Amino acid sequence: MMSCHLVAVPTLREHLAASTSGLLWIVDAYTLAFAALLLSTGLLSDRWGTRRAFQAGLIVFVVASVGCGLAPTVGWLIATRVVQGVGAALLAPTSLALIHPTPPTTAWASPPDSSMPAGSSAACWASHCWARSQPTTCRTEFRSQKSSPR
C-alpha cells in the first residue's frame, strides 16, 4: 500500500511545496483516522444498519477524494485525507457484512444446510483417497472403518 504513496511523494512535494513533515502527514493522516475509527464505525453500522452505513461511508469517501484532488495547499490535503480515512472506516466493516448471507431464521434447515455434513464427509474421504494414491486400498479401508466399532 505504501508503494503508491512513494510514487506520489515527489509530485506532491513539487506542486504543493510540501515539507518532509507535511508529506508524512499526508501519507499518515488517512491511516491514523482509519485505524482510530474502525471499531467505532463497526458499532455505528450495527446501529444505523449496514446498508445505510455503507452508503454514508461511500459518499464521505468520494467527496473527500474529490477534495484531495482539488486541494490547493498541504493543510487542505491533510484534512481531506483525514475525511477519507473516516469514510474508509465506515466502508470497511460494512462491505463484508453486505456480502455475507444471513442464516435461515426458521427451525428447519434449508437443503444446502442439511447436505453440508454429507459433502464434508465425502470431501474428507476423497482427499484421504487421493493423498494415498491407492484408490482400491482406500475403498476397502473406508468400508472396514465404517463397519468396525470404535
Answer yes or no: do 77 and 127 share one domain: no
The answer as to whether 105 is a domain residue is no
Measured distance CA(65)–CA(85) in Å, rounded: 10
pLDDT for residue 111 is more than 80: no
Answer yes or no: do 66 and 124 share one domain: no
The answer as to whether 112 is a domain residue is no
pLDDT digits (tens, 9 = 90+) for 28-41: 999 999 999 999 99
pTM: 0.63
Q: How confident is the model at residue 107 (pLDDT cuts 50, 70, 90)?
A: low
Q: What is the count of structural domains for the chain?
A: 2
Answer yes or no: do 89 and 54 share one domain: yes
Answer yes or no: do 18 and 84 share one domain: yes
Answer yes or no: do 129 and 90 share one domain: no
The answer as to whether 8 is a domain residue is yes
Q: Cell numbers at residue 28, please? A: 499518515
pLDDT for residue 136 is more than 60: no
The answer as to whether 75 is a domain residue is yes
Answer yes or no: do 67 and 128 share one domain: no
Answer yes or no: do 49 and 122 share one domain: no
The answer as to whether 107 is a domain residue is no
Radius of gyration (Cα) for the chain, nearest Å? 26
The answer as to whether 63 is a domain residue is yes
Stretch 121-136: mean pLDDT: 49
The answer as to whether 66 is a domain residue is yes
Angle value at C-alpha 43, between 40 and 44, nearest 5 degrees: 85
pLDDT digits (tens, 9 = 90+) for 39-97: 999 889 889 999 999 999 999 999 999 999 999 999 999 999 999 999 999 999 888 78
Answer yes or no: do 10 and 72 share one domain: yes
79: containing domain: 2-99
Contact 74, 18 (CB under 8 A): yes
Measured distance CA(15)–CA(68) in Å, rounded: 13
- pLDDT score recorded for residue 139: 47
The answer as to whether 108 is a domain residue is no
